[in-house]
Amino acid sequence: METHELVIIGGGAAGLTAAIYGKRAGLDLVVLEKTSHGGQILITNEVENWPGIKAISGPDLAQSFYDHAMSLGVEFRNALVRGITPGEKHHTVHTDAGDIAAKAIIVATGATFRRLGCKGENDLIGAGVSFCAVCDGAFFTDEEVAVIGGGNTAVEEACYLTRFASKVSIVHRRDEFRADRMAIDRALKNEKIVAVWDSVVESIDGEGLVEGITLKNVKTGELSTLPVAGVFVFVGTVPTATFLNGQLDRVDGGWIATDERLQTSVPGIFAAGDVRNTPLRQVVTAAGDGALAAMSAYHFIVTH
Ligand code: NAP
């Protein structure tokens, strides 16, 4: 069986930073990624809080992480991980291209977008319902769209969408946004943005294409309709960890539980970045996690 000291699952900010630190520590490692390198920053228009760089496009930052890892000779492989089997001497990572044995594993699979779960959402994905402003924003040039959510993603991506859309309604279930003050101020100053407070989406409506949404005011119970051509759903994230089949302890919400060295409930298996139980999900915290997980894995490998 193919064997490495360290297998890193996920090629986003956490996984690529773990690869950089692991490689520099002299570990024999491979990074497994099911799609493209970069993770969530790949679909982020602009990153404005990566220290040292005032503003950079998400894809450019992702590429710089990847190029850095490649310059050190990191092996990066496209592979879908189907599961892991923890073992005494080594753990086994099951991929669509065969099994890989590893002394240590870092799970850095990130998070995926939470769905609203309302009527019409699943049926109209790709027909007006989107989870990515950078990917789909240009389809709505001179049209009205709705953004659902009140966190940083909703508020920042709403601003991005005003490049294309004639009007962006941010529908939020409370009467104040969760996003940081700077992002909120920028959005509320934008003439194309309208906040729709205290409202949840009852249904996304349309025959084959989104034509509007039905909203319910949570304070009055009143129903109303908002005619829009696009609905961008940004209501938070859920961990990308179904492949783990309950083998690692989780906390509420399914996030992987880790100790202060980022070890999971299984010795030799570490978790880094958005997939783990962390109070802050940012590129910089994911990168910090990647560094710590790599050094913890290094320590585990040389002492076992
Ligand atoms: P988030 O901060 O968890 O916000 C999710 C938003 O969706 C909240 O406003 C929440 O409402 C709302 N929501 C959740 N479930 C809902 C439902 N079923 N129906 C309607 N609304 C619902 O998620 P995020 O904005 O995707 O951000 C994720 C993490 O990345 C956060 O830590 C965020 O700070 C970070 N982030 C940072 C930046 C940046 O620093 N530039 C950019 C993007 C993301 P409530 O407020 O009522 O709970």
pTM of the predicted structure, to 2 decimals: 0.88
Q: Catalytic site residue 136? A: yes
Fold for domain 2-112+237-303?
FAD/NAD(P)-binding domain (3.50.50)
* Chain-centre distance for alpha carbon 59: 14
pLDDT category, 217, cuts 50, 70, 90? Answer: very high
Least confident of 38-52, 94-108, 166-180, 267-281: 38-52
* Alpha carbons 152 and 212: distance in angstroms, whole number: 24
Write down the pLDDT at residue 45.
Answer: 85
**Same fold: 2-112+237-303 with 115-233:** yes
Calculate mean pLDDT across residues 42-51: 90
Position 150 scores a pLDDT of 98
Q: Which residues of 125-146 are buried (b: 16+ CB within 10 A; e: fewer)?
A: beebbbbbbbebbeebeeebbb
Beginning with the edge strand found earlier in the chain, give each strand of the sheet holding 129-130 in spatial order.
129-130, 230-233, 144-148, 167-171, 193-196
| CA dist list (Å): 71 to 24, 79, 240 | 11, 21, 28
Mean pLDDT computed over 69-96: 97
Average pLDDT over residues 114-128: 96
| 154 Cα–ligand 1 center, Å | 7
* pLDDT value, residue 13: 98
Q: Considering 96, 135, 185, 259, which one is annotated as catalytic?
A: 135
Enumerate the β-bridge partners of residue 195: 170
Q: Check whether 44 has a pLDDT greater than 90.
A: no
pLDDT at 43 over 90: no
Nearest CA, atom 34, ligand 1: 152
- Side chain identity at 211, as an amino acid letter? E
User: The CATH number of 115-233 is which of 3.90.1150.140, 3.40.190.10, 2.60.120.10, 3.50.50.60?
Assistant: 3.50.50.60
User: How deeply is 55 buried, as exposed, middle or buried, from its count of CB atoms within 10 A (0-12, 13-18, 19+)?
Assistant: exposed
Percent of the chain topping pLDDT 90 = 96
Report domain extents, the chain: 2-112+237-303, 115-233
Per-residue pLDDT band at 46 (split at 50, 70, 90)? confident
159 is catalytic: no
User: Across all residues in the chain, what is the average pLDDT?
Assistant: 96
Burial class of 99 by CB neighbour count within 10 A (0 to 12, 13 to 18, 19+): middle
Give the mean model confidence (pLDDT) for residues 11-19.
98
- The answer to whether residue 135 is catalytic is yes
- Pocket of ligand 1, beta carbon within 6 A: 49, 116, 148-154, 156, 173-174, 178, 200, 234-237, 280-282
Instruction: State how far the Cα of 268 lies from the Cα of 6, in Å rounded to an integer.
Output: 9
pLDDT at 219 over 90: yes
